Structure 1
Amino acid sequence: MVQLGITLFNADGEVPPAHPEATTLQPPAYLNNLMVTPCTWVFNFQFSLEEDMYGENSIALLKAAGADFEKHADIGIDPLEFGSLLITSGLVLSDDVHWISFHGGYDFAYLMKFMWCQALPNDEESFQTLVQKYFPQLVDVKFIYMDLKKRHQANVPMNPEAASMMSRLNGKGTLQDLADELGCQRFGSPQTCGTNAWMTGNIYFALRSKIYEGQIPEEFYGQMWGITSVGNPASATMQQAILALQSGGGMNGTNVGGMNFHSGTPSRDGAPSTPTTNPAGLATSTPGPQGSHPGMGTFTPGAGGIFGNFQYGK
């Protein structure tokens, strides 16, 4: 993961107020000690183009958005230190905190890796159990959209608002497509994870209000597009290519199936610290960035939002 964007929302889809009401602070003298409260944070992690594995297209998008990879390598946040602070932040291991993502399978895998400091489980069931422990309330906007798309294509009855929206989208389903359709405004460059975090949260609340009458169905919680919903297995050629890359088969810079791979130099425990932007032979429907939205990390469009209650302390 190169970057992580987080936007905070409350249960009504509101971001923290930039300034509190004067009447909420006692004594009023505290007003002189306050500063503007941000609603969105971007965390830039240690990442080396010389040592870490990466997808060429993803790096090109991040560079176009202004990512400074020299600074990532020199002064980027240590992922394991970030993981230790995340565990004690109150944002994980809590039923009161809801995480919102867009195509978030890889994002949660990376965050789990940061916090768990061990190899992730090899099977999906064990991985799901682990994610459920640390992120007991998570929802993936991409998963919600794909469910609507499948129902619309199968002519399953849905409310008029949902049917009309899916007809207008006509199969399109990027983060920007949904934002345009739902009237969600973007702030900042589309190639940055902070603005994608903001927009993912706004899309979620717009869907909840306009399509689901104020309540996202419970069955969508715990689902991650790209993990709990995959397409057909990758081709034998793709599987062999990925395995050759992982075993150091000399594929650096090779184009396979339209994807350019750079393996980097093994840097942590004799293995690359960052996987490619595509699954290791798992499924062709779990790619990295789609369109022009690299998102939360290098590999997933969109970003995460969290909602709870906001309160200014003394």
Structure 2
Amino acid sequence: MIQYGGVAQYGAYQQRYPVVLSQGGIAAIPSLSKSPMIRDVWEDNLEQEFSVIRSLIKDYPYVSMDTEFPGVVAKPVGNFKATHEFYYQTLRCNVNLLKMIQLGITLLNDKGEVPENCCTWQFNFRFCLTEDVYAQDSIQLLRHGGIDFDYFAQYGVEVSHFAELLISSGLILNSEIRWLAFHAGYDFGYLMKVVCGKELPEKEEDFLQIFHSLFPCVYDIKYLLRSTELSHSLGLDHLSESLRVRRFGMAHQAGSDSLLTGHCYFKLLRDCFAGAPPLSSNGVLYGLCEDASSAATPSSTTIPGGSAHSFASFAAGKNAAFPSTPLTHTVKGHN
């Protein structure tokens, strides 16, 4: 059962974060990241920052990515032949129910070098605690990481505006762009939902077909770890410690995590893969499309409907750090 209700109280955002005045004089570009390498993006400066990104991707075609989202609130019901089927249906019903809160992307070249001045963009999406569904413990974690949801509700990026600019940016549907992520099923699930403006399809194979169309070249670091002596059970922070890669910015923020992901990828290539990833790892998301001998345990939450057979048909119409098996959460918000 999903329970709703409750409004949290927050202090004045401007007392905690420095604010830059936009061209119109509106205080709408605060810095959450506490790092000069990471630029926060709100609705007010969205088009300006996409213009910068478009100017850089030819020289920096590697895009490391991370998202922050409001937890895992539901499990699918049914019998599943393999754990990857249960994983996808869990991912699907949660992505369809919830909204992405942050997206971080970092640009790198083929040597792992980043642009000067700013290399990471942290997109802060409109999210309202009185309207949107969320898991309470996830919101608390994000608040401790520096997120003020009052400000997100007022100045956050509009998803439809972001999708329009992303589609025309050259970052997707482009085989020259190499996407990098860590345990990336949920990350790409949320990004696909935003780009297409529609719920994820019912079948895993349809999801993967659309995924590969939108993102022709993807490396999931957690899957790459299967080919190394490092444990693939490591989380991103423990992996960075093992590789001796330094974090910039604050943990539990998408910008900092995307920057750390990019640095870990290139350090992993140097240490374990002689500079190049296995060709067979391209396009494989950890936990999806992997055979497993054990069947998943069903639960009592229904799955929203929806199907698609190609990116074109999927995007034609519109329907009205939790990538593991979810826990049971108390959920708040409103439909």
TM-score norm. by structure 2 comes to 0.60
Partners of 1:198 and 1:223 lie apart in 2 by 21
Name the counterpart of 1:138. 218
The reply on whether 1:174 has 2:221 as its aligned counterpart is no
Partners of 1:142 and 1:39 lie apart in 2 by 23
Q: Is the 8 A contact 1:104 1:226 kept in 2?
A: no
- Give the drift of 1:83: 0.8
Over 6 Å off, 4+ runs: none
Going from structure 1 to structure 2, the CA distance change for 1:39 and 1:257 (only over 3 Å counts) comes to: closer
> Over residues 250-288 of structure 1, what are the superposed CA-to-partner deviations in whole Å (9 max), with x where a residue is unaligned?
xxxxxx98531315211xxxxxxxxxxxxxxxxxxxxxx
Partners of 1:186 and 1:229 lie apart in 2 by 31
Going from structure 1 to structure 2, the CA distance change for 1:178 and 1:117 (only over 3 Å counts) comes to: same
Partners of 2:239 and 2:170 lie apart in 1 by 30
Name the counterpart of 2:112. 13
- Give the drift of 1:91: 0.7
- Segments of 5+ residues of structure 1 without an aligned counterpart are 19-36, 149-161, 248-255, 267-314
Q: Is the 8 A contact 2:136 2:332 kept in 1?
A: no
Going from structure 1 to structure 2, the CA distance change for 1:257 and 1:194 (only over 3 Å counts) comes to: closer
Partners of 1:221 and 1:11 lie apart in 2 by 16
CA RMSD of aligned residues (A): 2.3
> Over residues 48-81 of structure 1, what are the superposed CA-to-partner deviations in whole Å (9 max), with x where a residue is unaligned?
2222222222211110011010111122111121
Partners of 2:170 and 2:326 lie apart in 1 by 42
Counterpart of 1:2, as a letter, is: I
Name the counterpart of 2:186. 106
Q: Kindly, what percent of the aligned residue pairs are identical?
A: 36
| TM alignment of 1:143-154, pairs within 5 A | 143-145=223-225, 147-148=226-227
Which of 209, 227, 230 is equivalent to 1:129? 209
Going from structure 1 to structure 2, the CA distance change for 1:3 and 1:200 (only over 3 Å counts) comes to: same
Counterpart of 2:331, as a letter, is: H
Name the counterpart of 1:61. 141
Partners of 1:125 and 1:258 lie apart in 2 by 26
What number of residue pairs does the alignment pair up?
216
> Over residues 97-121 of structure 1, what are the superposed CA-to-partner deviations in whole Å (9 max), with x where a residue is unaligned?
0110111111111111111122322
Aligned partner of residue 129 in structure 1, secondary structure? helix
TM-score norm. by structure 1 comes to 0.64
- Give the drift of 1:234: 4.3
Partners of 2:160 and 2:302 lie apart in 1 by 27
Aligned partner of residue 243 in structure 1, secondary structure? coil
The reply on whether 1:2 has 2:64 as its aligned counterpart is no
Counterpart of 2:247, as a letter, is: R
Going from structure 1 to structure 2, the CA distance change for 1:230 and 1:75 (only over 3 Å counts) comes to: farther
Point out the more displaced range, 128-137 or 50-59.
Answer: 50-59
Going from structure 1 to structure 2, the CA distance change for 1:65 and 1:81 (only over 3 Å counts) comes to: same
Going from structure 1 to structure 2, the CA distance change for 1:75 and 1:229 (only over 3 Å counts) comes to: farther
Which of 41, 53, 60 is equivalent to 2:121? 41
Partners of 2:178 and 2:197 lie apart in 1 by 23
- Give the drift of 1:233: 4.7
Aligned partner of residue 329 in structure 2, secondary structure? strand
Name the counterpart of 2:276. 215
- Segments of 5+ residues of structure 2 without an aligned counterpart are 1-99, 306-324
